[in-house]
A and B are shown apart, each in its own frame.
Chain A
Amino acid sequence: MKEMHLTNALKKDFPLFQAHPELVYLDNAATSQKPQVVLDALNTYYTTQNANVHRAVYGLAEQSTLAYEGARARIANHLNAASPQELVFVRGATEGLNLLAWSLSQQLLSSGDIILVTEMEHHANLVPWQQAALRMGAELVAIPLLPDATLDMNFLKTLEADGRAQRVKICAVSTVSNAFGTTHPLSQISSWCKNHGISLVVDGAQSVPHGSWDVQELGADFLVFSGHKVYGPMGSGVVWGKEALWDQLPPWQTGGEMISRVTLTSSTWNSLPHKFEAGTPDVAAAVGLAAAMDWMVAFGLKHIQDREAFLSQKARQILQEVEGLTLIGPQNQKHQLVFSFTLEGVHSHDVAQYLDRDHVAIRSGHHCAQPAMRALQLGSTARASLALYNTEEDLHCLGAALQAAREYFL
């Protein structure tokens, strides 16, 4: 392991850690804390630029529109998108996936078709597809989990052998499991989808926060992520899609801004990306998300990845040393930022409650992945998830608190 010394210096950029200096925040898979530059961007927008976007002719509205469209262009650039029009702003990954589940299924699905997901998806990348399948008379099929919380990729061969592969029209998978931290073999899934002419939707909620951004390398048709997990504001999120595909899709929500011409009996749609952004957007959220991604670039994506790789290995080492702790998930994955575990004899809720006394914030429960938990016969697990501001000291606090929790309840 490359030795690093991670100090608390980075936490100084995050006002929440000034307000709670004792906090060891390890629930980053749920949401990240926000750096000062993001809060400043929100404040600047509301104090100097706030007006509704796109239609008004006065100067302030033009500034607001520039701020909003500028944010779109900066994020598109960070993602290496072909053009800013390929980005639609949404409230978060859940809303983005609902948009795609609606519009893509309307466009692509007929009765008897298949939507392929995995058994390990967050409910946000499962329930919208399940409901779309019900609506369209299609079938939802899931790539099953193996006992080590990785995907059973042989299942794709089963689909080919029994002919179901021909019926798959949409595949929706996450890059990384929010419940177990498993990195899925996306390039393999992507080539399989290409070979079978399947539209691939990728839920990047757990990978975009760690700097995996390049949509040209992704090999997917759509990428969805939440801004609030990427150091950006709550209520920010993005759906990226290839322009040619976006163009074919029917709108999801309708109303103001997304129209071109409206009569009492019919409407035509605005151009991309506005066709998918009905109503007044959360301009500040978009501006804040662009500031967050700019901040990450200034810090250095490579630097982030090195730092997080170090944290990942330290975390595994420290967790493995805790008596009675069982890590759930891949045992040899090098880069892992979500760790799910059980502590013998102590329910995960009680683990999390005990850790809170020591100011260590972790998650407990089913992590919005009930089918995955059921497949592994787990009621609930405790989950610690890392971000780039975490330090070795945070991880030592976690280890010590877990050891103490076990002693308390035994």
Chain B
Amino acid sequence: MNQLDDLYMEIILDHYKSPRNKANLDHLGDDVLHENPSCGDSVKLDLQLDGENRITQAQFDGHGCAISTASASLMTERLIGMNIAEAQDFLQLFLSVMRGEEEVEKLEAWGDLEVLEGVRKFPMRIKCATLAWHALESRLEALTS
């Protein structure tokens, strides 16, 4: 049971059942839709910026499992208030932790996000945890290009 509870931490189940910043983003076309081809899960991400390139609103839409939904929800919570450069560092750090290249303690500064540590013990689920982050990656690329 322990391993499964490491994956489905209470905070993850909470964000799955009541996702934060989840909104209907039908107005964004399918070109911003990110899909996990192995399972059919999909996510869209929308960022609103102020005049100083600071994220004032981060919303996501899509359907996914507990891990991908909670990861998207936790990600959007943290993104609000960051500028683009900070968001890029944040993204890279998270992906490195998921790849096992960085210690999970590095995520401590980001609060609840650390609960996604358990996913690393389930290699098949890492792509669930990173789906929304790849959507963030393209969104940030589009904003900076």
A207: CB under 8 A from chain B?
no
Contact between A380 and B39, CB atoms less than 8 A apart: yes
Q: Do A409 and B38 contact each other (CB < 8 Å), given the known contacts A353-B4, A353-B125, A354-B4?
A: no
A-B contact count (CB 8 A): 45
Chain B residues near A357: list those with CB within 8 A. Answer: 1, 3-4
Closest to A379 in B: B63
| CA A349 to CA B13, docked complex, whole Å | 14
What 0/1 readout, one digit per residue, does chain A (239-275) give for beta carbons within 8 Å of chain B?
0000000000000000000000000000000000000
| CA A350 to CA B8, docked complex, whole Å | 9
Q: For window 95-145 of chain B, which residues contact chain A by CB distance below 8 Å?
A: 122, 125, 128
Contact between A350 and B65, CB atoms less than 8 A apart: yes
B64: CB under 8 A from chain A?
yes
Contact between B4 and A349, CB atoms less than 8 A apart: no
Chain A residues near B125: list those with CB within 8 A. Answer: 349, 353
What 0/1 readout, one digit per residue, does chain B (25-67) give for beta carbons within 8 Å of chain A?
0000000000000111110000000000000000000011111
Question: From residue A357, how far is it (CB to closest CB) to chain B in Å?
Answer: 5
Which among A347, A366, A370, A373 is the interface contact of B65 at CB below 8 angstroms?
Answer: A347
Chain A residues near B4: list those with CB within 8 A. Answer: 353-354, 357
Contact between B40 and A350, CB atoms less than 8 A apart: no
A103: CB under 8 A from chain B?
no
What 0/1 readout, one digit per residue, does chain A (344-374) give for beta carbons within 8 Å of chain B?
0001111001100100000011100010010
Counting contact residues on chain B (CB < 8 A from A), the size range is 20 to 34
B79: CB under 8 A from chain A?
no
Chain A residues near B74: list those with CB within 8 A. Answer: none
Chain A residues near B41: list those with CB within 8 A. Answer: 349, 379-380
B7: CB under 8 A from chain A?
yes
Contact between B7 and A349, CB atoms less than 8 A apart: no
Chain A residues near B128: list those with CB within 8 A. Answer: 349
| CA A357 to CA B42, docked complex, whole Å | 26
Contact between A364 and B66, CB atoms less than 8 A apart: no
Chain B residues near A366: list those with CB within 8 A. Answer: 39-40
Chain B residues near A380: list those with CB within 8 A. Answer: 39-41
Which among A349, A365, A379 is the interface contact of B42 at CB below 8 angstroms?
Answer: A379
Q: Do A409 and B42 contact each other (CB < 8 Å), given the known contacts A350-B66, A353-B125?
A: no
Contact between A349 and B39, CB atoms less than 8 A apart: yes
Chain A residues near B42: list those with CB within 8 A. Answer: 379
Contact between A365 and B39, CB atoms less than 8 A apart: yes
Question: From residue B133, how far is it (CB to closest CB) to chain A in Å?
Answer: 17
Which among B3, B38, B64, B122 is the interface contact of A347 at CB below 8 angstroms?
Answer: B64
What 0/1 readout, one digit per residue, does chain B (61-100) give for beta carbons within 8 Å of chain A?
0011111010000000000000000000000000000000
Chain B residues near A379: list those with CB within 8 A. Answer: 40-42, 63
Closest to A370 in B: B40
Contact between A353 and B7, CB atoms less than 8 A apart: yes
Contact between B1 and A365, CB atoms less than 8 A apart: no
**Which has the most chain A C-beta neighbours within 10 Å: B63, B64, B65, B128?**
B65
Contact between A364 and B122, CB atoms less than 8 A apart: no
Closest to A381 in B: B40
**Which has the most chain B C-beta neighbours within 10 Å: A353, A373, A380, A408?**
A353
Chain B residues near A364: list those with CB within 8 A. Answer: 39
Contact between A349 and B3, CB atoms less than 8 A apart: no
| CA A365 to CA B67, docked complex, whole Å | 14
Closest to A380 in B: B40
Chain A residues near B16: list those with CB within 8 A. Answer: 409
| CA A359 to CA B73, docked complex, whole Å | 30
| CA A365 to CA B41, docked complex, whole Å | 8
Question: From residue B115, how far is it (CB to closest CB) to chain A in Å?
Answer: 15
| Further pairs besides A348-B65, A357-B1: 7, Cβ < 8 Å | A350-B8, A353-B7, A353-B122, A364-B39, A365-B40, A366-B40, A370-B40
